[in-house]
Amino acid sequence: MTQSQIMPVEVRDFDHFVRTRAGRLYRAAWFLTGEAHKAEDLVQTALGKAYPHYPQVADDEEFEAYVRTTLYRTYVQWWRRRWNGEVPTGELPDAVAEGAPTPARIDLARALAELPKMQRAVMVLRFYEDRPVAEVASLLGISEGSVKTHSSRGSANLRRSTHLTEEAS
């Protein structure tokens, strides 16, 4: 076998995984938490919990699914514990972070923030992440019927939200 016939072996690298996937993970976390710092903490925590399992997972697609599951379960644990007593501040930082969310995303995050925590988690998983009912139920540890109920109620609440209004064309 000659050198040109040898297929290159894909070398998996956790740092490369984080560089290429962190943005998508952050957006999902931001929609869940509605706050940049909590979203960053949530992604960091999920990556930290998932890191030891990286070598055992077959590829980066599967590992991203594993991290997302960890992210959602961590989110549920956090809101059940009331975010460890953290209180949001009334002051905004002076500088806007690079890649700041668009006004439409900010409006969506505000509308999602008005939902009860479980409705918010279900809405993000079902409609932002486009996950099936059974998978959402499994991720959140609730029944499929509860997922459907939270989806229905969350959709109704979002339709009534003052943050989400249709623009005149």
**CATH 1.10.1740 location in the chain:** 14-85
pTM above 0.75, yes or no: no
**CATH 1.10.10.10 location in the chain:** 102-168
Quick one: pLDDT at residue 5?
54
pLDDT tens readout for residues 21-55: 999 999 999 988 888 899 999 999 999 999 999 98
pLDDT tens readout for residues 78-99: 877 654 455 556 665 555 455 5
Instruction: Using a pLDDT cut of 90, give the percent of the chain over it.
Output: 37
Sign of CA dihedral 147, 148, 152, 153: negative
Best CA proximity match to 157, nearest among 103, 119, 117: 119
Residue 14 to residues 21, 53, 67, 116, Cα–Cα distance (Å): 10, 11, 12, 34
- At the topology level of CATH, where does 102-168 sit? Arc Repressor Mutant, subunit A (1.10.10)
Best CA proximity match to 17, nearest among 72, 70, 64, 66: 64
Best CA proximity match to 146, nearest among 163, 157, 158, 134: 134
pLDDT tens readout for residues 113-138: 888 988 998 998 898 888 899 999 98
Distance, in Å, from the CA atom of 147 to the CA atom of 121, rounded to the nearest integer, reads 10
Distance, in Å, from the CA atom of 86 to the CA atom of 151, rounded to the nearest integer, reads 28
Average pLDDT value over all residues in the chain = 81
Residue 75 clears pLDDT 60, i.e. is over it: yes
Alpha-helical (H) ranges within 34-102 are 36-50, 60-80
Looking at domain 14-85, its CATH architecture is: Orthogonal Bundle (1.10)
